[in-house]
Structures are given as structure tokens and as C-alpha cells.
Chain A
Amino acid sequence: MPDYAVVTEKLRRSFDDLVAVDGIDLQVAAGEIYGFLGPNGAGKSTAVRMLTTLLMPTSGTAFVAGRDVIREPVEVRLRIGAALQDAALDPKQTGLELLRLQGRLYGLSGRDIDMRIGELESLIEIGDAIKRQVGTYSGGMKRRLDLAASLMHNPEVLFLDEPTTGLDPISRARVWDEVRRINRELGVTIFLTTQYLEEADALADRIGIITHGKLAIEGTPAALKRQLGSDVIVVRVDGDAQEAKRAVESIAAIEAVDVYDEEISIRVANGAGFISAVALALNESSIRVRELTLRTPTLDDVFLSVTGGRLQQEEAADEEAER
């Protein structure tokens, strides 16, 4: 039996009438980077808060680092590290004080704390700023300090809840590098939530897509894309996309057509061989085509095919709903 870092069964959490996490089964192998991908409000953070012992599941079971999240929260806490959303750090402490406090709360000796800070300093490349108050840090520096704080006690499993949300592209790339290094060099299992497809694609060994509290699909990024067929032809039209869908549907070899707004994506094994047929079919039904592109599938296409929505739009709609 493989060694699992996170195992859940029918994990569920509701708040009054709202079901935030609706029966999720997960098996994350030790040493894996698992990407939990979904729009805002999909239930990612609720799931992480349950797995990190901050929130009790309504029903179901969860084991993290071999310990029961429900019955042995302290044992779980000793074995996990977590950087929650927005790098929640005390602005009035210096980086060094914050790391020392973190070490002391995990029962480390003064010598061990010094040693760990020495090791982590090179990982997070924060330099002399470590002696300054956290309130003076940039967003990227805060995230990296937060990462270091969550690693002080050598956790077996690291939870990162949207580690790069709100960061500029350069800071994001640095956090990505660090996540890879933590996983590769320290062998830490990483459970990462993100609303960015490219982040999941770049970092995760396996991805689970969560929408409305349910795990919609799971697999390696490559397998998820492969599942869609080898190519995607995207057509943007002026007017009725449904009509465009009807126009192309009869073409043989087309595997599926997804419609979103004024856009259809046609999944087909050999895109180059069929793009002319698609163009002809659209021309015959006198649909005005604004854009016709052929590309390999992205995770966004996977997301569209399993949820019927684009990730970024879903997010906007969810934010709208939250207001």
C-alpha cells in the first residue's frame, strides 16, 4: 500500500444551508505536489481549513500525515505546516522574531531554531530584511517569510492556500521556484490550492478541479489535457454560438463541442486536418467568424469541459454572488 500524506473520504462541511465542501475523496501520495484548482468560493479554503485542523468536518473522514484530523488534531499539527491565504503575519514583529516564536511553539530548542533559521534563510533569500519588522515587507517577501515560518519544524506535509494570489509575475515565479525546491530537496508533500491554471500546470504532479464543493476531475496535468483529445479549435463568432455549434457538430471526427458565451471550442484528434472543414461549415451557415484558432488543449479547456465555465469568468461570477 502506498504511503499517503492526505486521505479523505466523503469529506463534507456545511455552514447552515450552504454546503461548502460536498463529499470529497482525496488520496495524495507522500512526496507529491497536489494542486487543488478551482474558482473563488469553490470550497478550496474550507477543505484546507479542515485538513489543517482549524475547522471540523460536518461529516466524512480525513487523515493527514497518517493522523486523524478529527480525533488527533495536535498530532496532525505537529506534522504539518501551512501558509494560509494572504500571508497572515504579525506586522509588529521582525522576521527573525516571528520565525523564533514559530520554532518555540513547535517545541524546538534554541540551537535547533538557530539552525533552522540558517537553513531557511538561504531558501527564502530575504537577506538583512529578516531583522526588520514584517510590516515593512513587500507582498512577495511576506509570502516567502510565511513559507519559512511554515517550514520551521520540518513538516511532512505543507499546505499552501493560494500562495501567489495578488503577487506580481516576478514574485510569483520566485514562490514557484521555492515550492519546487521545498518539494524536491526536502521531500515535503505539498497540498496547494490555486485559482490560477498556469500555477497548477507549472507546479502540480496531480490536479484536482473543485467546483461547488465537489471534486469534478482529477489527474496529472498531461492526462487531463490528453483526455480532451489532442487539439482544440476555438471559434469566436459574432452572434449565436449555439448556431455555430450546430453548424460544425455534423463534421465527422469531432469529439465534442463546448459553448461558452460567443465562443465554441471544438475538440478533435487532428486539428490541422479539420480546421478547413470547420471554416467551410461556418461559412455555409453564414455565421460571422471573428477569430478561428487551433491550439493544443490547456487546463482551461479541461475546466470548461468539466464545469461548463471558464475559470476566470466563474471567479468573477462568484465574486458577484458574494456581494
Chain B
Amino acid sequence: MSATEARPEHRVVKSRRAGFIRDVISLGGRALRSIPRDPESIIPALIVPVFFFAVNVGALQDVAEAMPGLDYKAFQLPVAILFAVTGVTRANILVLDIQGGYFDRLALTPVNRFAMLLGFMVADLVLVMSLSIPVIVLGTIVGVRFETGILGIFAFLGIAGIWALAYNAFPYAVALKTGNPAAVNSSFLLFLPVTFLTTVFVPEEALTGWMSQVVKFNPVTYLLQGMRSLISDGWVASDLLAAFAAIGAVAALSVPLAMWSLMGRVRRK
């Protein structure tokens, strides 16, 4: 190498496509950096699961444990995780990017268009995993033990993570389709039927009337069953497969919707 080449001021910088993986990492890093700078958006996700865990266990433990063989704290831990991860997204940042024009600024670069969404989702995955850890620690403190051991805890976190990605594609679809922060906030409404019309308080056998029918159609019922099986029953293939199938069913709807909205947003129309 000659002396001139070694002098950096003589190098001419030339742009090129960074590639899909590097684009996702770059944009994911940016989305992750935004989290501590926007703490108000994650504080509810830290408080809500602990609140529901304490209230549900406090109010219903004695009643529910009248059912033979039910450990109600173990029963409620997946519910707490569900509340910790469902709908926790950076979609609010994405919609502000769109509104403020930074999304266009990024679209001016040769960045891969899919990375413009996946970067956020990677950050979400890191975020929801981090939010799940204090809930698991809390569960351990109050005496919940995993039948499946350490490996089961990882599987539990993994299921929570992919569930979050599948569900969160909905708020992203709304953000990309509308570019409207109020619409993104309203997408929270979807959270209510999904998380409450299921076996959130008592097991399916204890439900009666219309509720006992509705829960059969809610994918979250199977998700919770799969997660509970990891705590109470060990490795039960049928429960885990049902959980993955439920997540897959949600993703089959939400991910194409988000992709379609993304393509609509970056298409030059």
C-alpha cells in the first residue's frame, strides 16, 4: 500500500447498497436507541403485567385453586407475559417518522424497503424479551417453577417473542397504512378482545355460556395453553404445536397486512 492510499483524506467515499442484513441492523439499532429516550412508551408495559398478576392472583387464587390441581400463580404467569409483550411496539416512532418526513428521508437512501419495517421489529423483539425477564423473575420469587427447567424458560420467552412479532404486525400495518398517530393509538383496542376473551382468569373447563365458545376461536387461548404447559406439565408436543399454530394463524393475517401497507407506503404511486 502506498503512502497516499494510507492517508484517509485522499480516499474517495463511494456509496453502495449496504445489503439487507446490514440495513436491518442499522435501522434496528436506531429503533433500540429510541427506547430509553422515550421511556413513557414502555413504562405501561412494565407496570401492567405486574399489576394484573398481583390483582388476579390476589382476587382469584383461593376461588380458582378450589379446582383440583391448579397452581394459580403458575396459571397467571403466562397472562402477565402476554400483557408485557402484546402490542408493545415502536409503531409510534414509525408513525412519527412518516408524519415528520424522516421516513421519506430514509426512503431517499438505497436502503432495502423491507428493512424499513424489519428494523423496528427486531428492536421490538429485543424489547419484549427484556420486558419479559422481570416478569419471569417475579414469578420465580413468588414460587412458580418450570417443569421444563431452564430450557423451558427460554422456550417460554421465545414463544412470547414470536407472538409479539405476529401480533405487533397489526399496529405497524395501521401506522404504515394511515400515517396517523391517533389511528396507531386506537389499534390498542384490538388488544382487549384478544387478551380478555380467552382463558385469562380461569381455565377453559371453568368457563360457561358464550365465553366457553368464544375462547375456542381465540388464538391466544392456545398460546396461553402452550406456555402454561411449559410451566406445569413439561414438554407436551400437542400443546406447543397448538401454540405455534395459533401464532402462525395470527401471523398469516398480520404479516401480509403489514407488508402490503409497507409496499403501499414505499411504492412511488
Which residues of A line the B interface, CB within 8 A? Answer: 52-56, 73-74, 77-80, 82, 84-86, 88-93, 97, 101-102, 104-108, 111-112, 115-116, 119, 133, 149, 153-155
Contact = CB atoms under 8 A, between A and B. Distances in A.
B18 A92 contact: no
Contact of A154 (B14, B27, B109): B14
Given A92-B38, A107-B16, A77 B110 contact: yes
B15 A56 contact: no
Contacts of A88: 100-102, 104-105
Interface in B26-43: 26-27, 29-30, 33-34, 37-38
Interface of B: 8-9, 11-19, 22-23, 26-27, 29-30, 33-34, 37-38, 93, 97, 100-102, 104-111, 268-269
Given A105-B26, A106-B15, A107-B17, 20 more contacts: A53-B268, A74-B17, A74-B110, A78-B110, A84-B105, A91-B100, A92-B37, A92-B38, A92-B93, A101-B29, A104-B18, A105-B106, A105-B109, A107-B18, A115-B8, A115-B9, A115-B11, A119-B9, A133-B37, A153-B13
B10 to A, nearest CB: 10
A54 B104 contact: yes
A101 B23 CA distance: 9
A53 B269 CA distance: 11
Given A53-B108, A105-B106, A84 B101 contact: yes
Contacts of B101: 84-86, 88
Q: Identify the 6 closest CB pairs spanning chains A and B, nearest first.
A: A88-B101, A153-B15, A56-B268, A106-B15, A107-B16, A107-B18
A73 B113 CA distance: 12
A108 B13 contact: yes
Contacts of B33: 92-93, 97
Contact of A111 (B8, B14, B19, B269): B8
A92 to B, nearest CB: 5
B239 to A, nearest CB: 41
Given A112-B11, A115-B9, A78 B97 contact: no
A93 B38 CA distance: 11
B15 A108 contact: yes
A92 B93 CA distance: 10
Contacts of B29: 101
Contact of A54 (B22, B27, B100, B268): B268
A60 B193 CA distance: 51
Contact of B15 (A54, A86, A90, A154): A154
Contacts of B102: 88-90
Contacts of A80: 108
B131 to A, nearest CB: 20
Contacts of A111: 8
A77 B108 contact: yes
A105 B110 contact: yes
Contacts of B23: 105
A149 B22 CA distance: 19
B110 A106 contact: yes
Contacts of B27: 101, 105
Interface centre among B15, B97, B100 (most CB of A within 10 A): B15
Interface centre among A86, A107, A119, A153 (most CB of B within 10 A): A107
Contacts of A115: 8-9, 11, 13
B249 to A, nearest CB: 35
A182 to B, nearest CB: 15
A104 B13 contact: no
Interface centre among A55, A79, A80, A92 (most CB of B within 10 A): A92
Interface centre among A56, A89, A101 (most CB of B within 10 A): A101
B266 to A, nearest CB: 9
Nearest to B35: A92
Nearest to A159: B108
B109 A102 contact: yes
Contacts of A149: 105
A54 B109 CA distance: 10
12 contacts: A78-B15, A79-B15, A82-B108, A92-B33, A101-B29, A105-B18, A106-B18, A112-B13, A115-B13, A149-B105, A154-B13, A155-B15
B22 to A, nearest CB: 7
A73 B33 CA distance: 30
A55 B108 contact: no
B33 to A, nearest CB: 7
A92 B8 contact: no
A104 B26 CA distance: 7
Nearest to B99: A88
Contacts of A74: 17, 110
B14 to A, nearest CB: 7
A55 B101 CA distance: 14
A137 to B, nearest CB: 14
Contacts of B100: 88, 90-91
Contacts of B12: 154
A201 B101 CA distance: 28
Interface centre among A55, A90, A112 (most CB of B within 10 A): A90
A267 B220 CA distance: 79
Contacts of B110: 74, 77-78, 105-107
